Structures are given as C-alpha cells and as structure tokens.
Amino acid sequence: MKFIVGNWKMNGTLDEKEAFLKALKNVKTNNKIIICMPFTLVYGNDHGITIGAQNISEHANGAYTGDISGQMLKDADVKYVLVGHSERRLYHNETNAIVKAKAIAAIKNGITPIICIGETLADKKAGRTMTVVKKMLLECIPEKCKYIIAYEPRWAIGSGKTPTLEEITAVFETIHKTLHQQGCENISLLYGGSVNSNNAKQIINIKNVDGLLVGGASLKSDTFLPIIKSID
C-alpha cells in the first residue's frame, strides 16, 4: 500500500469538498488516500478517503489565539497532520525545534504527523542537499517512531520542476539510512513537489518511496484522480 496525500493549502469551500469527495467516491484503489484540508473542512471522515489537517499547535491549550491543538484535531477525528511544510517554515518562521514539538503534540493525541523536510534552491546549488536534509530530519523527528516523512525540495513546490529520479533515489537512501540509524524501521517516506499524473508512477516506483504528497494537482478531482489511477 502506498500513500497518496493531497495538500489543499488555503483552498477549498464546503461545496468544493463535497464535489471532490463525490468524484472520488467510487474510485477503486489499494492505496491510502489522505487529503489535508483547511481546518474548516476537516470534520466528517466518512467518505472512504481520510481527511487530515495542515497544522497543529505545539501547545496543549491556553492563550494561543488562532491556533488549533492536538486535542481539538483528535475531537474532529483527524488522524494525520502535516507539520513543518515549507510554507509554514517560510511565512510563520517555524524552526526545526517547533516542527519537532508539533510532531510530538500530534503523536500524544494519536495523530500521525507527516513531517516535511527539504532543501532550498540555494542549498541545492551549493551541493548541500544531503547535509541539509539530514540535519533537518534529525532535528525534526521525535523519539517515538510514529511519524511519516515527506521530502519536498522547496524549489520543486509549485514550480513544475522535480529532481531527477537519481537525485530522489539518493535522498531517499540517505533518509532511510538515517532513520535506520535512529532505530526507526518502517517509517513511510513520501515525495512531494510538482507531482502530477505524468510523473507520479515513475516517482512512486523509486526505492524507499512509499507515497506522494500532492499540492496543486490535488485540488481538483480532474487532476487528482489520474494520479490515483496511474499508480494502481
């Protein structure tokens, strides 16, 4: 079983959610489909696909206006949450330490965090991809091996560009080995960044790639369904 995770970012109304779920209703797949929706849409996991969230507070409760806690997500029956997406790191100054704290908060509430890591274009150009990815990984992972890792090169997000298959293979090998050294086996690893129905199959067939994290192409069933179908 592979994971196909959608990330709607700050998109989606209730009508759009309903239309999307209706379109996906009869899709036959052996894979696990999760759509990380805005908080306003996370209720109602009763459509055969799993709805996840895109953020969680590192705090349990209290005076943190606008934040949503793990307990609240648990109440809403959320089972997966993205943490450390590069847009959160960029626009909300989330550091590796914060990302780790968020992952811990998720696990405490029985929610699987999908921890996002990935290098910038400057890192890549300077030949620092492996060092950066490894450092981010080690600084973001909680002790309990109860998480998913999403490798998303920042420069690949929304750009239509992806690393070569060889580059993805090498990074996943490093992530896999690093987690092994930490005593964590069987952690699912996802690739994200400009995934579409033309490249999904090739990427998912790479060694150690257990799934995909899809942004733009997950917004409409017209572009998401072909990805699901291309993988089965």
Of residues 2 through 41, those in contact with ligand PGA by CB under 6 A are 7
* Dihedral pair phi/psi, residue 146, rounded to 5°: -125, 55
Nearest approach in angstroms of CB 114 to ligand PGA is 10
Termini Cα distance of the chain: 10
Q: Is residue 69 part of the contact set for ligand PGA (CB under 6 A)?
A: no
With contacts defined by CB under 6 A, name the span among 99-107, 138-146, 182-190, 208-216 that binds ligand PGA: 208-216
With contacts defined by CB under 6 A, name the span among 122-130, 173-181, 199-207, 212-220 that binds ligand PGA: 212-220
Q: Is residue 210 part of the contact set for ligand PGA (CB under 6 A)?
A: no
DSSP E strands: which ranges in the chain?
A: 3-7, 32-36, 50-52, 80-83, 112-117, 148-151, 189-192, 211-214
Confirm if 197 and 217 have CB atoms less than 8 A apart: yes
List 55, 188, 194, 208, residue binding ligand PGA (CB under 6 A): 194
With contacts defined by CB under 6 A, name the span among 13-21, 138-146, 186-194, 224-232 that binds ligand PGA: 186-194
Please tell me the distance from the alpha carbon of residue 17 to that of residue 53, in angstroms, as a whole number. 14
Burial 2-35 (b: 16+ CB within 10 A, else e): bbbbbbbbeebeeebbeebbeebeeeebeebbbb
Nearest approach in angstroms of CB 71 to ligand PGA is 26
Q: Is residue 195 part of the contact set for ligand PGA (CB under 6 A)?
A: yes
Tell me the residue type at 141: I
Size of the site for ligand PGA (CB under 6 A): 13
Q: Is residue 44 part of the contact set for ligand PGA (CB under 6 A)?
A: no
Nearest approach in angstroms of CB 6 to ligand PGA is 9
Q: Which residues bind ligand PGA (CB under 6 A)?
A: 7, 152, 157-158, 192-195, 213-217
